[in-house]
Amino acid sequence: MWDDAFPSFLIGLREGLEAGLIVSILVATLVRAGAKSRLPQVWTGVLAAVALAMSFGAVLTFSAASMSGTAQEAFGGTLSVIAVAFVTAMVFWMRRSARSLSGEIKEKVTGALAMGAGMLVVTSFLAVGREGLETALFLWTTARAAGESAGPMIGAGIGIVIAAGLCWGLYRRVLKINLTRFFTATGAVLIVIAAGVLGYGLRDLQEGGVLPGKTAYAVDLSQSIDPGAWYSTLVQGVFNLTPTMTWLQVVAYAGYLGVVMTLFVRGVRTTAVKPAGPAEPAKPAESVESAEPAAEGEPAGQPVEPAADGKPAEETRPGAPARRRPAWVVPAAVVAVPAVVAGAVVAFGGSKPVGAQTVAVSEKECGKGFTAPKPGRQTFQMHNTGDKASEVYLIDPASNAVYGEIEGLAPGTTRDLVATVAGGSYAWRCVPTGGKAVTSASVRVSGGAAGKAVVPVSEADLAAPLTAYKQYVNQGLTTLAAQTKQLSDDIAGGNLDAARTDWLTAHRTYASLGAAYGTFQDFDKKINGRTAGLPDGVTDKDFTGFHRVEYGLWHGQSASDLAAPAARLAEDVAGLQKAFPTQDFDPADLPLRTHEILENTLQFELTGDADQGSGTTLATADANLAGTRELLGVLRPLLASRDAQLLPRVDADIDRVQKLLDSAHHDQSWTPVDKLDATSRARLNGATGQLLEDLAPVPDLLEIRKSA
């Protein structure tokens, strides 16, 4: 959270201090002018600026929430680029204006005093409003990049509070800050952060289909960098740099940083060496004190003389009846107007598709507003009117088959559900968290062929496949325990050639049990952990298991060096064998693993990233394929009844991948993946990618859904 907080903390501190300085100068000028009665007008303008900024943020948030996923990416990417432009302009403006800020504000205040009450409100509103809008836009983009993290809001809040404290200290003359140096230093940091926001925004535009090249990667370190490590989250949170970046992101990041930082630094140096003119000494920028006039009684320009009652002269009209409005009317209006406008934009300016139905989701109102739709692709706006998060399904009430679904619809929120409607019966099923499933009244749609739906799967349906697969894993662990014991004995006896053969045999056995790794808990990291995230890499004390032994066997370590790691591997496997029968194995994991086993294969084995010297990652990939085939075998009856075309496609894909792997297997040796020719490697990656694509529907087809 704190890594996400830093960019927002900096923008909150900088923009808060900038706005606070302006307000302090306004207040100080009025106080010195003897026009304290005008201070409420300043605060009214400030309040209006804050209300506008908050309303702007609300419009951005709710407008994005009503869009489709692709539109959200495009919308967010566009605003990220705009935010970068604003921040860049703000950085250069403040670097240039820090020394003359007080004089400019004093001139504006003097003019406003002469023109009447409304102009002072407008002056303070415009002076603070720009910073408010910039802050709202930048915070929205950083919060969106952080996802569900509360870090950006917390960081911005802390920054604004500190800025307010600094401004109070400057105003009370108990604190001195070299503002020119402050804005220069923070400006340089913000330029680096803005470069990351630009890269993130361009990636969103690529994901949204606005810009090309979303698969043209210039950097892909996802296999060698642990995304969950502290340094990964720190770099990504602060600088918006990710392990995987496209060419457009990299070029934009480097180009922006190189050009803008060069111009900024050059401007700082020019300002630093520019001598003060002989007629007018340079003004200090250390505190708000420089904003106040030298003379004690009045500011420069044409001050407004206060009347005898302390009010400015132009506010008193001789002979006219005094008409006073309540003091709260104007402040309330300036807050209400932006809020009302924002509400209207959210309510009437959303992206609701033409003809879309709004359907209620709750225990009491499930399906309210649902009428028979026309055949074809339809969008339903599902609005949770209850007080619990809910799952919602569009179903065939006769068979409980599911046409479309939304998971985790929060109370008071609305999300789109898109489904293709054809001839048949339809109803809504609402399943509140911790509550009872409720099914709406059904409607009948005429015309068109029958719609395609997925018959739901229950835990009972997966019970038999789960039992069969657990038996397979238990048998595999028994074999694995004997194999790792033999490996340990060979190393203890100094027979390293036999140990290398034993290592590959045992590792292939473990890789073939891939579907169960989610239930192996901490044992998987001990038995098959990699070096990603370990500070000392292959020499780290927490680097254990198969890959630790592999590294030693193929990097010339002695039997005495490897005896302890091999013995520990055998002990961990024995511990897993004992613990597995009592570990929980979620039935819902079975469908997920059909896809995830080969996802890991494509990420680690087929890139060679998992190789610690043996050159046998293709042998491991072969074992992973065997594990996938075994898993599909126990799920085959459920899949065949739900999508008759899926299994033939998947079987053909598996055969294709198997032939490509077999071509890299010669007698007892395997071709290292980095020794494959470019054509063979491309074919293997392509065939595995196609298999993954065809396996992708399995988790949805076999997802456990509550039907009653």
Lowest mean pLDDT of 240-254, 346-360, 577-591, 595-609, name the range.
Answer: 346-360
191 pLDDT more than 70: yes
Distance between CA atoms of residues 142 and 157, nearest Å: 14
102 and 108 in contact (C-beta within 8 Å)? no
350 pLDDT more than 60: no
Neighbours of 243 (CB within 10 A): 16
The whole-number pLDDT of residue 508 equals 96
Q: Which residue has the higher pLDDT, 612 or 170?
A: 612
Q: Which residue has the higher pLDDT, 25 or 117?
A: 25
576 pLDDT more than 90: yes
The whole-number pLDDT of residue 653 equals 94
Which one of 120-134, 263-277, 285-299, 390-404 scores highest in mean pLDDT?
390-404
Report residue 338's pLDDT band, with 50, 70 and 90 as the boundaries. Answer: low
- From first CA to last CA, the distance across the chain in angstroms is 39
Distance between CA atoms of residues 510 and 280, nearest Å: 81
Nearest to 384 by CA among 341, 351, 428: 428
Q: Which residue has the higher pLDDT, 31 or 161?
A: 161
The whole-number pLDDT of residue 93 equals 73
The whole-number pLDDT of residue 645 equals 87
470 and 590 in contact (C-beta within 8 Å)? no
Residues 6+ apart with CB under 8 A from 40: 327
323 pLDDT more than 60: no
301 pLDDT more than 80: no
669 pLDDT more than 80: yes
36 and 55 in contact (C-beta within 8 Å)? no
Q: Which residue has the higher pLDDT, 160 or 660?
A: 660
Whole-number average pLDDT of the chain: 78
The DSSP secondary-structure symbol of 424 reads: E
- Reading the block at residue 132, the tokens are 């408010």
Lowest mean pLDDT of 236-250, 511-525, 630-644, name the range.
Answer: 236-250
Nearest to 633 by CA among 647, 645, 619, 646: 647
Give me the long-range contacts of 500-504 (CB less than 8 A, separation at least 24): 500/553, 500/554, 500/614, 501/668, 503/546, 503/549, 503/550, 503/553, 503/614, 504/614, 504/616, 504/619
Neighbours of 363 (CB within 10 A): 17
423 pLDDT more than 80: yes
The whole-number pLDDT of residue 601 equals 92
Lowest mean pLDDT of 148-162, 492-506, 661-675, name the range.
Answer: 148-162
The whole-number pLDDT of residue 237 equals 62
Q: Where are the beta strands (DSSP E) in 268-354?
A: none
Distance between CA atoms of residues 649 and 243, nearest Å: 33
The whole-number pLDDT of residue 148 equals 47
Burial annotation 392-426 (CB, 10 A radius, 16+ → b, else e) = bbbbbbeebbbbbbbeebeeeebbbbebebbebeb
392 and 428 in contact (C-beta within 8 Å)? yes
Report residue 429's pLDDT band, with 50, 70 and 90 as the boundaries. Answer: very high
Which one of 200-214, 324-338, 608-622 scores highest in mean pLDDT?
608-622
The DSSP secondary-structure symbol of 235 reads: H
541 pLDDT more than 70: yes
286 pLDDT more than 60: no
Mean pLDDT of 298-304: 35
- CA distances in angstroms from 432 to 65, 397, 416, 703, listed in the order given: 21, 18, 18, 17
Mean pLDDT of 14-34: 75
Report residue 39's pLDDT band, with 50, 70 and 90 as the boundaries. Answer: confident
Q: Which residue has the higher pLDDT, 470 or 329?
A: 470
Report residue 238's pLDDT band, with 50, 70 and 90 as the boundaries. Answer: low
Q: Which residue has the higher pLDDT, 610 or 269?
A: 610
116 pLDDT more than 90: no
- Reading the block at residue 407, the tokens are 């998971």
The whole-number pLDDT of residue 150 equals 63
Report residue 342's pLDDT band, with 50, 70 and 90 as the boundaries. Answer: low
- Reading the block at residue 52, the tokens are 């506008």
Mean pLDDT of 358-370: 91
447 pLDDT more than 90: no
Which one of 25-34, 111-120, 407-416 scores highest in mean pLDDT?
407-416
The whole-number pLDDT of residue 619 equals 96
The whole-number pLDDT of residue 322 equals 47
* pLDDT, tens only, 587-625: 888 898 888 899 889 888 999 999 999 999 999 999 999
152 pLDDT more than 60: yes
Lowest mean pLDDT of 249-263, 400-414, 648-662, name the range.
Answer: 400-414
Report residue 228's pLDDT band, with 50, 70 and 90 as the boundaries. Answer: low
Which one of 135-139, 210-214, 665-669 scores highest in mean pLDDT?
665-669
Q: Sign of the CA dihedral 81, 86, 90, 93?
A: positive
Q: Which residue has the higher pLDDT, 708 or 35?
A: 35
Classify burial at 550, counting beta carbons within 10 Å of its beta carbon; exposed 0-12, middle 13-18, buried 19 or more.
Answer: buried
166 pLDDT more than 60: yes
585 pLDDT more than 60: yes
The whole-number pLDDT of residue 641 equals 86
The whole-number pLDDT of residue 553 equals 96
Q: HSE (CB half, 13 Å, CA atoms) of 337?
A: 12
Please name the residue that has the structure tokens 């059904």: 442
- Reading the block at residue 489, the tokens are 């004995």
The whole-number pLDDT of residue 54 equals 79
Neighbours of 325 (CB within 10 A): 7
Report residue 706's pLDDT band, with 50, 70 and 90 as the boundaries. Answer: low
- CA distances in angstroms from 640 to 199, 645, 646, listed in the order given: 44, 8, 8
3-state DSSP assignment of residue 632 = helix
3-state DSSP assignment of residue 482 = helix
Report residue 311's pLDDT band, with 50, 70 and 90 as the boundaries. Answer: very low
Report residue 428's pLDDT band, with 50, 70 and 90 as the boundaries. Answer: very high
Q: Which residue has the higher pLDDT, 159 or 117?
A: 159
Mean pLDDT of 563-584: 94
